Amino acid sequence: MKIYVDADACPVTRIIERVAKEYAIPVVLLCDTNHVLSSDYSEIRVIGAGADAVDIALINLCQRGDIVVTQDYGVAALALGKGAKAIHQSGRWYTDENIDGLLMERHMAKVARRMSKNHLKGPAKRTEEDDWRFEESFRRLIESNLTGRINT
């Protein structure tokens, strides 16, 4: 098992590394040439700039049994299709049961943005509670992946 992180602007990278290190699970951080990352634990892969270049590289690397951390529903859907587990930086697990609805929500939001001149408000500022929630969920996902049981 490896953990692949869509690391462009990912706010939970250090949490992922700390927890992965406890379990001795390798981590690969993927970013484009517009971001500079450093790590004492993870392998860093810098992917050429371009629309979806990091997403495509991540999906090409991940395999059944791996864990993918991404906020991109499309990447999550592709990871699930390859038999990997996927988790959002909020701690929400992507599953075969919820991914279609999430993709539909993303599509409807895109349609709404096109139809409206008013821009939707961005996400709320990240809190310590958000980080705690992610870490707890991430640990449960790792444990369920190691044992083969789903404990959502």
- Give the number of domains in the chain: 1
Indicate the pLDDT class of residue 49, thresholds 50, 70 and 90. confident
Q: Is residue 51 part of a domain?
A: yes
Beta bridge partners of 5: 29, 69
Mean pLDDT of the chain: 89
Indicate the pLDDT class of residue 114, thresholds 50, 70 and 90. confident
The predicted structure's pLDDT at residue 120: 61
Q: Is residue 64 part of a domain?
A: yes
Q: Is residue 34 part of a domain?
A: yes
pLDDT digits (tens, 9 = 90+) for 62-106: 999 999 999 998 999 999 999 999 999 999 999 988 887 777 776
CATH at residue 11: 3.40.50
Alpha helices by DSSP H, the chain = 13-23, 53-61, 73-81, 99-115, 128-147
Q: Is residue 152 part of a domain?
A: no
Q: Is residue 15 part of a domain?
A: yes
Residues spanned by the domain of 63: 3-147
Q: What is the mean pLDDT of residues 15-35?
A: 95
Per-residue pLDDT at 16 exceeds 60: yes
